[in-house]
Amino acid sequence: MLPGVSGVTLGRQWRRVQAKLPEDWVHARLSLTVTSPRQLDRAAALLGPLTPGRAADLLRFEVVRRGHAHSPAAVERALGRLDAERIRGTLELVGALDAPPAGYAATPATAADVSVAEAWDALVDELPEDWTDVYAQILLTSSDDLDPAALALAPINPGRYGPEVGFRFRCARSFGYGAAPGMVRRCFARLDELGIVGAPSILRVLSDTRPVGTQGPVWYVEGKAV
């Protein structure tokens, strides 16, 4: 793992990481540690088009060298949004490959071409094998889509949170609070059918929870139970 450089803008850190990538790299995985934990949710929202995963205080996402929504330029734009809001952190290279990993979509795509349902499938595939509860969000590219998206997502009980154009929701694997993963996928497929472009991301995940006398765990975000 290449060390990140705290105190340096994330855009500059990304350019340094690129300079150290092998000449034949095609696919790379990155992790971002945000300096202030209070800014972690905002950082995840700003990185939404890159569909970041979240593990403890880390945000993880990938970059594909050519012709994909996760291109180096898309990563630089996303990190630039964090720099613009003075969100500091350390960017690290987790690993690089000379070919896309098995099952990765190799066809060129723009953000509008990425299926929301398929993006959700990819996020679920990266979860720990024993995951039980997820707190996630879907960011939309246009505020005009908020009302039709809310109707399509109604079965997963979407909620607005902060200024972002999108919704947050809970997903439970087998019991408790939250919609089932299959229901989430069906709702996202409805967005695809309506032509609504969005980027899902997982904000928090719990594994092997076993509630006693309750329907499931509760997260507190800025003093509010979710």
| pLDDT greater than 90 at residue 167 | yes
State pLDDT tens for residues 42-61: 898 888 878 888 877 789 99
Strand partners, 202: 136
How far apart CA 83 and CA 139 sit, in angstroms, is: 20
Enter the pTM of the model. Answer: 0.52
Q: What is the mean pLDDT of residues 112-127?
A: 80
| pLDDT greater than 60 at residue 3 | no
Q: What is the mean pLDDT of residues 124-141?
A: 88
How far apart CA 128 and CA 169 sit, in angstroms, is: 19
CA 157 to mean position of chain CA atoms: 19
| pLDDT on residue 2 | 41
Element (H, E) at 166: strand 166-172
Provide the sign of the torsion angle of the four alpha carbons 113, 195, 168, 6, taken in this order.
positive
* 106: exposed, middle or buried (Cβ count in 10 Å: 0-12, 13-18, 19+): middle
| pLDDT greater than 80 at residue 114 | no
Task: Give the helix ranges, DSSP H, for 34-115.
Answer: 40-46, 72-84
- Tell me the backbone φ, ψ of residue 99, rounded to 5 degrees: -155, 155
